[in-house]
Amino acid sequence: MPKYLDLRVSASLFFKAAVFAFMVYGLSACSTSGSAPGDTNGSGDQPSHKEDMVVYKSPFCLCCKDWITHLQQNAINVGSENGLDTASVKQKWGVPPSMQGCHTGVWRNQYVFEGHVPARLIRKYLSNPPKDSIGLAVPGMPQGSPGMYRGGDFEPYVVYLIMTGGEYRFYEKVTSPEPAGKSV
């Protein structure tokens, strides 16, 4: 093989190995399975953050970031944990499969807010959590919900109350976009 081809093959192999190593490092740093930075015991428990809510999400999800921004704009102290194993967090917190969204927020290691729940409904829930409930859910990714709504036509959606044992029930129907900024 001519020398210039040998150098190209070597450079190509080096580049591929470097990309692979970077991907493995990146995925292991973002994973919530096993022991993750800040994880109290590697089981998906809420890390010991100073935030009131920790959002478990994929590092590649943009709507999750927009939902976090919605919460922050509404004076909710929130942080996030990136990981590719969000299913184990949902399972640990008892989120029924039919109620799952793309991210899971855990409030002070006590309540769960699954999917794009509006900040005002989080506050309403926290002011008087219904007996035997564990949190609220907006299943799927409704186009009208905070983090998904981009203006224009609004699509109403339903927020559900998640009960212990995997049950759920209607909590509130959202019929208009959430206002920007601080909610009441």
Is residue 167 over pLDDT 70? yes
Distance CA 176, CA 135 (A): 22
Write out pLDDT tens, residues 33-77: 332 323 333 334 444 457 899 999 888 888 888 898 999 999 999
Distance CA 91, CA 138 (A): 16
Is residue 153 over pLDDT 80? yes
pLDDT at 5: 47
Distance CA 148, CA 48 (A): 29
Write out pLDDT tens, residues 84-142: 888 989 999 999 999 998 899 999 999 999 999 999 999 999 999 999 999 999 999 88
Distance CA 100, CA 112 (A): 11
Domain coordinates of the chain in residue numbers? 53-174
- Maximum CA extent, the chain: 76
pLDDT at 122: 96
Q: Output the six-digit token pair for 46.
A: 């809420």
pTM of the model: 0.70
Taking alpha carbons only, the member of 108, 121, 103 closest to residue 157 is 121
Distance CA 164, CA 74 (A): 28
Of 12-26, 57-71, 119-133, 148-162, least confident by mean pLDDT is 12-26
